[in-house]
Amino acid sequence: MALTGKVALITGGVKNLGAQCAIELAGVGANLALHYHSAGGKKDAATLETTLKEKNPSIKVAFYQGDLTSAGAVTKLFQDVVRDFGHVDIVVNTIGKVLKKPITEISEEEYDTMFAVNSKTAFFVLKEAAAHVTDGGKIISIVTALLGAFTGYYTSYAGSKAPVEHFTRGVCKELQSRRISVNNVAPGPMDTPFFYPQESPEAVEYHKSNGMGNRLTMVEDIAPIIRFLCTDGAWITGQTIFANGGYTTR
């Protein structure tokens, strides 16, 4: 197995896209350090642990809880993972928060929260990943298809994910000599509970109609791309890979 003995830290790693990435990386032998945020994640973690053990009984899996919007919390997460596993080879950051509103209705508090979750967290995860990931490692941040589209109402969401592209470009150059590849993956509107609360039924149909086969992106479309970047795709670095069934294609 390509990742036997490797340690992958996945933030937001117990449900939806993060959980699917965990299952995918378990399938190629990676040990898994899985972070979750809300207290409800404990139940998701228990369910996922059973699935992972069935998929690959020989891997080590551990779980970590925390709000990662402070630099100190991100530092502690990495310290805990290194204490438990000895090293970190792969980091996949799936943390995100969406807001769909006209800019005239977005408060300062909402702006600060969006940038704390989508930009600040991504920055400090990259910082700690740069400090801890072993030579030849992989660092992947999840952004959004909206970085490739002109769309109203997601201004604070796309706007707070946009800096991650440049963080990634800078970090990829800084880590090139250590053969660490650093990339973003940008899914299209994805069929998870993250997507639905802010969308009307008509909007859901509109999003579907922009994708190949008239459907949303599925987590199963994205997780194999993450695996590829962690294995055979190691030569790719500094990129944002748009995977959205044509959603952003003109």
Ligand X SMILES: NC(=O)c1ccc[n+]([C@@H]2O[C@H](COP(=O)([O-])OP(=O)(O)OC[C@H]3O[C@@H](n4cnc5c(N)ncnc54)[C@H](OP(=O)(O)O)[C@@H]3O)[C@@H](O)[C@H]2O)c1
Footprint of ligand X on this chain (CB under 6 A)? 12, 15-18, 36-38, 41, 67-69, 94-97, 117, 142, 144-145, 187, 189-190, 192, 194-195
Q: Is 206 a catalytic residue?
A: no
Nearer Cβ to ligand X (89/191): 191
Integer distance in angstroms from the first to the last C-alpha of the chain? 39
Q: Cα 95 to the chain's mean position, in Å?
A: 6
DSSP lists the bridge partners of residue 141 as 93, 184
Instruction: Count CA atoms closer than 13 A to 205's CA, side-chain side.
Output: 3
Instruction: Considering the candidates 157, 196, 206, 247, report the single residue annotated as catalytic.
Output: 157
Least distance CB 189 / ligand X (angstroms): 4
Residue 29 or 153: the one with the smaller Cβ distance to ligand X is: 153
144 vs 155, beta carbon nearer ligand X: 144
Sheet containing 7-11, strands listed edge to edge, beginning at the edge strand earlier in sequence:
61-65, 31-36, 7-11, 88-93, 133-142, 181-187, 240-243
Segment (H or E) for 159: helix 155-175
At residue 93, what are phi and psi to the nearest 5 degrees? Answer: -100, 110
Residue nearest to ligand X (CB): 96
SS3 62: strand
Buried b (16+ CB within 10 A) or exposed e, 155-165: bbbbbbbebbb
Q: At 159, list the tokens.
A: 């706007």
Residue among 36 and 167 whose Cβ is closer to ligand X: 36
Q: Looking at the annotation, which residues are catalytic?
A: 157
